[in-house]
Amino acid sequence: GDSVTQMEGPVTLSEEAFLTINCTYTATGYPSLFWYVQYPGEGLQLLLKATKADDKGSNKGFEATYRKETTSFHLEKGSVQVSDSAVYFCALGYSTLTFGKGTMLLVSP
């Protein structure tokens, strides 16, 4: 079946460091891919998405490119802030969404 694998956390960075959170997927066909973010004690919010191969989703300085050849959708940000500390979920979907286990990001001043 469909599945999503994310790098394990926590990822600990200093402010202004470069961020990469790896996400790979297994799926039949060509699903849409998403990154959601969850701040402490809250629900998830859509961060960005891509619907077909080579699409790049971007929002709030975060980017991810849909790579069909490597079945990946890695999340990147050039300069993280303390306020980016949260749990990040990669997800794929045809009908309902399949989520990865989440990666916690901790950014220190």
Partner 1 sequence: DGGITQSPKYLFRKEGQNVTLSCEQNLNHDAMYWYRQDPGQGLRLIYYSQIVNDFQKGDIAEGYSVSREKKESFPLTVTSAQKNPTAFYLCASSLNGPATNEKLFFGSGTQLSVL
User: Contact positions toward partner 1, by CB under 8 A?
Assistant: 4, 31-32, 36, 41-46, 49, 51, 89, 93-97, 99-102
Nearer to partner 1, 3 or 14 (CB): 3
Nearer to partner 1, 28 or 95 (CB): 95
First-to-last C-alpha distance (Å) of the chain: 41
Kindly tell me the sign of the dihedral angle through the C-alpha atoms of 88, 84, 12, 40: negative
Give min distance, CB of 86 to partner 1, in A: 13
Give min distance, CB of 25 to partner 1, in A: 13
3-class secondary-structure state, position 79: coil
Which tokens sit at 103? 């990666």
